[in-house]
């Protein structure tokens, strides 16, 4: 768009000032008309596309909420049917949920199907349900890990010790919350393979881990003692772990306080 032409020298005559203003306004209006003719349709099109995109996004979100609410109602109804013993009626609803695009409800349906199968003595069907969850990359990691652990416990007696150790390894290394359960299965696999030293060390770790259920810690301590571990050091290891957790908590608080001060 062209700029406004330079104003002529000012005049002391008010009529000249009025004439100059009229010329200036006419010039501006002419420039606006030119701009509108050249770019107006594109501006209107851009606004229309923006509004369409906004409307489409809002519709998509509303549709997702509607579908999730429908799945929630369907799943709740299926659970009620399971509780009342109407598993045949629940089976079809769970199968439908299992085919949905919602990974969380797919996983919940599979866990429920596995429970029904186990109650009916069908371990193979239960294993297939757990495997679907464990192998679904769209399912949240905690649910996939839970399915992996349940599948490993279900298959423990039918797979080789090497395979048990391979599947349990990711939950033993590091600081996985599934360590107590995975560790016990790995320790038993080491025992089956004849490696009492590794089995004893794992049982000792389980007994020393405060995250382990009380019954599991007691069982692990007995096994560790039977395999030659010095269980008198378990209390010391537990105290050391508590101190480490306390230090980590203090460090997190200090970091949060520093962040708050800088904001």
Sort 151 into a burial class: Cβ within 10 Å, 0-12 / 13-18 / 19+.
buried
Residue extents of the structural domains in the chain: 53-156, 159-263
**Total-model pTM:** 0.66
| pLDDT of 192 higher than 90 | yes
C-alpha separations of 118 from 9, 27, 130, 157, 259 in Å: 97, 85, 11, 16, 50
* Cα gap 80→231, rounded to integer Å: 47
43-93 pLDDT tens trace: 777 777 777 777 777 767 776 677 778 888 888 888 888 888 888 888 888
Whether the predicted pLDDT of 1 surpasses 50: no
Q: What CATH number was assigned to the domain covering residues 53-156?
A: 1.25.40
pLDDT at 132: 94
């Amino acid at each position: 768009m062209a700029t406004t032409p330079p104003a002529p020298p000012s005049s002391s005559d008010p009529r000249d000032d009025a004439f100059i203003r009229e010329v200036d306004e006419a010039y501006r209006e002419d420039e606006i008309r030119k701009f509108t003719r050249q770019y107006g349709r594109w501006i209107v099109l851009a606004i229309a596309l923006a509004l369409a995109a906004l409307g489409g996004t809002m519709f998509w979100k509303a549709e997702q909420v509607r579908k999730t609410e429908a799945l929630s109602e369907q799943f709740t109804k299926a659970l009620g049917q399971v509780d009342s013993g109407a598993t045949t009626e629940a089976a079809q609803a769970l199968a439908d949920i299992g085919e949905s695009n919602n990974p969380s409800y797919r996983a919940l349906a599979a866990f429920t199907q596995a429970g029904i199968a186990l109650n009916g003595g069908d371990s193979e069907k239960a294993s297939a349900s757990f495997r679907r969850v464990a192998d679904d990359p769209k399912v949240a990691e905690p649910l996939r890990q839970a399915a992996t652990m349940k599948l490993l416990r279900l298959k423990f007696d039918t797979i080789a010790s090497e395979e048990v150790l391979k599947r349990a390894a990711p939950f033993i290394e590091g600081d996985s919350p599934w360590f107590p359960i995975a560790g016990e299965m790995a320790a038993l696999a080491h025992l089956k393979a004849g490696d009492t030293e590794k089995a004893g060390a794992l049982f000792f770790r389980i007994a020393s881990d405060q995250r382990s259920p009380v019954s599991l810690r007691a069982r692990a301590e007995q096994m560790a003692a039977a395999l030659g571990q010095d269980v008198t050091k378990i209390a010391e290891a537990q105290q050391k772990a508590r101190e480490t957790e306390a230090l980590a908590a203090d460090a997190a608080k200090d970091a949060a306080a520093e962040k708050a001060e800088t904001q």
